[in-house]
Amino acid sequence: MKNIAVFASGNGTNLQAILDNIAKGSLKVRLALVVSDKQNAFALKRAKKAGIKTFYLDPKKFVSKEAYEREIAAQLKKEKVDLVVLAGFMRILSPFFVRAYRNRILNIHPALLPAFKGGRAIKDAYNYGAKATGVTVHFVDEHVDHGPIIAQEPVKVSDAESVVQLEARIHKVEHKVYSEVIGRVASGRFTVKGRRVIFTP
Ligand code: GAR
């Protein structure tokens, strides 16, 4: 079974969905470590409650992004982590880390990339008047919200709903899609050709 690490900075509802799916047996990976850059991230509490090892590391204590990430990478190596799963980790990874884990870092983004990149994607899509948005899971490369797309799930925007309602619906889709995609990637039955991620049966 593959070992994964989840990186989270905030609430950790995606982490919770992953924990629940592992407990149910529908996601067959081992969650070896939860990493956070925020000491008070609720995600860390969720991990501890589930008996998962946590690793908080303060970026301010390091001279550079790379020095910070080298420390994290050493921890991942110790825990024999195969896949890195970003779930609301609000830091951009350096080329050093991306290279070390090429096509082994997944990110979830609450929009249909390349539309609405950045940290406010749901609000941005709503305020733009988009009639459809959604969820993207992609491999992380050297550019922000840019790497090869693994899966996308569209969500229609209803004229009647508030941004808060849209947000809740998108999160619900994220919680379902992310575990499915992590399971598929963990199976290893795919190839990456340029930007295309091709799954084989
Ligand atoms: C999720 O909606 C995720 O897609 C988003 O942060 C949220 C984290 O929620 N990520 C990004 O916007 C990355 N650009 P969570 O902490 O409850 O899982």
Range of the domain at 134: 107-201
Q: What pLDDT shows up at residue 154?
A: 98
Ligand 1: residue whose CA is nearest its atom 16:
12
Q: Is 23 helix (H, G, I), strand (E, B) or coil?
A: helix
Task: Give the whole-angstrom CA distance, residue 192 versus residue 35.
Answer: 26
Q: What pLDDT shows up at residue 116?
A: 98
Arithmetic mean of pLDDT over the chain: 98
Q: How many domains does the chain divide into?
A: 2
Q: Is 193 helix (H, G, I), strand (E, B) or coil?
A: strand
Residues 87 and 35 in one domain: yes
To the nearest whole percent, how much of the chain has pLDDT over 70?
Answer: 100
Radius of gyration (Cα) for the chain, nearest Å? 16
Interval 145-169: pLDDT, tens: 999 999 999 999 999 999 999 999 9
Interval 174-188: pLDDT, tens: 999 999 999 999 999
What separation in Å is there between the alpha carbon of 134 and the centre of ligand 1? 13
Cβ(175)–Cβ(15) under 8 Å?
no
Q: What is the CATH number of the domain that holds 29?
A: 3.40.50.170
Residues 134 and 157 in one domain: yes
CB half-sphere exposure, 109, CA atoms < 13 A? 30
Task: Give the whole-angstrom CA distance, residue 190 versus residue 78.
Answer: 26
What separation in Å is there between the alpha carbon of 109 and the centre of ligand 1? 7
Q: Is 106 in the pocket of ligand 1 (CB under 6 A)?
A: no
Work out the angle between the directed axes of helices 163-187 and 13-24 (0-180°, nearest 10).
Answer: 50
Residues 5 and 93 in one domain: yes
- Compute the residue count for the chain: 201
Single out the residue in 63, 86, 101 at which a domain terminates. 101
- 201 or 45: which carries more pLDDT confidence? 45
Interval 107-148: pLDDT, tens: 999 999 999 999 999 999 999 999 999 999 999 999 999 999
Single out the residue in 61, 82, 101 at which a domain terminates. 101
- φ, ψ for residue 84 (rounded to 5)? -105, 125
Residues 95 and 122 in one domain: no
Single out the residue in 52, 80, 101 at which a domain terminates. 101
Q: Is 136 in the pocket of ligand 1 (CB under 6 A)?
A: no
Judged against a pLDDT cut of 90, whether residue 201 lies above it is answered with no
What separation in Å is there between the alpha carbon of 182 and the centre of ligand 1? 16
Residues 122 and 82 in one domain: no
Q: Is 110 in the pocket of ligand 1 (CB under 6 A)?
A: yes
Give catalytic status of residue 109 as yes or no.
yes
Q: What pLDDT shows up at residue 83?
A: 98
Ligand 1: residue whose CA is nearest its atom 11:
109
Residues 158 and 70 in one domain: no
